[in-house]
Amino acid sequence: MTVSGRKQKVAIIGAGMGGLCAAVSLGKRGFDVSVYERAPELGEYGAGLQLGPNCFRVFRALGLERELRAVAFQPLANVSIKWDDASLRYRDPLKGVYEDLYGAPYLLAHRGDLHRLFRDNLPPDCVHTSKHCIGAHSQGDIAVARFADGSEVEADILIGADGIRSAIRQQLFGADQPRFTEQMAWRAIVPVDCAPRAFGPGKSTKLERGDYFGWLGPNGHVICYPIGDGERLNIFAGHVTTDWVEESWTAPSSKEELIAAHEGWNEALIEIFSNVGDVFKWGIFDRDPRPEWRSGRIVLLGDAAHPTMPTLAQGANMAIEDGYVIARRLAENAGDPVAGLKAFVAERQPRTARITLQSRQQFANNRMVPPPPPIPRDWIFEHDVTA
């Protein structure tokens, strides 16, 4: 996309899922894109991500379906297990079912693999590391980002994809603190063979290699699912607590701490925990939905705009959807970038606000005894931002 005979320049602050997806999407539509990342080198913490059919459609539209399928895993079934005696709550088939229902699969992937997939589809000089953004402002027809090293960058459009504690958000809308959700979580990865294949009363609960399975208990929930080639099992262990003092999002923990927090849970789960190596933990935060993410030629995207709890597994999905939509809206309004940014917010704000609030409701439901059935997600999966 051109302005005054040159490509429109877009600067993206943050090289996470949303920022990199936006960079790929904008690049494919002819924008001159640069990404600025505060870390000294590109990388993503090793953890799993769930990609719903809604998110898969973005990769398909970008021509990345083959690459995604090569690094992602399609689970056989969703298996829910009682936390104490490991009896079966329900088993819902997944593989093939989602294609029939929504025209796209439900996939599981390692965050690092997705990060590399996006990076491999960008020019080698697109991403600039060790660039800690400390603020930004919009001035007439340009937007300016300021960095801790004293440098500045000018662009026609500036996208703040710098996470829940976004410096861009603070600059535009004032300093406030994210809301602690009364949930923290552990992350770990183990070989898939560490999961027993039969357990519970009379070993009546059975797992197939390739199942997505989880335990829902009185003080949290644990989800285990295969990622990549299916040989690794990603563990997310959410825990209800009113206290969180760690500043880091990925504070080191241990399997001893993980096991101690699940005293009384079924021995099959404790057996899986006993095989973990590196364990990390972090507090889970979100923010109340806000109606506006834009100021002048600057806009927020992903967690900077709408951080959400992981209970619907849609945080990364929403950021990736954002990345595609902002490119589409800016291309549709090539002569008026501000109109494009306004259209982006108008399209995305209602959907992401509903995700945020419904994620909170699902967390509240999980704490009920007995817990009600999961909130339906058809409206999430049916949506197609590429249409």
Whole-angstrom distance, CA of residue 140 vs CA of residue 363: 44
Largest Cα–Cα distance of the chain, in whole Å? Answer: 74
- Please state, in angstroms and as integers, the Cα–Cα distance from residue 228 to each residue in 48, 50, 68, following that order: 9, 11, 10
Instruction: Find, among 233, 219, 310, 231, the residue nearest to 271 by Cα.
Output: 233
Among the residues of the chain, which ranges form H helices? 17-28, 53-61, 65-71, 97-102, 111-119, 167-173, 255-260, 267-273, 315-332, 337-366, 378-382
Q: Is 225 a catalytic residue?
A: yes
Query: DSSP letters along 283-311, please?
Result: EEEE----S--EETTEEE-GGGT----GG
Cβ of 252: how many Cβ atoms within 10 Å?
11
**Catalytic choice (36, 102, 106, 225):** 225
The residue to which tokens 């690459």 are assigned:
67
Instruction: Find, among 311, 323, 290, 307, the residue nearest to 361 by Cα.
Output: 311
Eight-state DSSP code of residue 203: G
SS3 content of the chain, % helix, strand, coil (to 5): 35, 30, 40
Query: DSSP letters along 350-367, please?
Result: HHHHHHHHHHHHHHHHHT
Eight-state DSSP code of residue 46: S
Task: Determine contact, residues 24/161, Cβ cutoff 8 Å.
Answer: no
Catalytic residues: 225
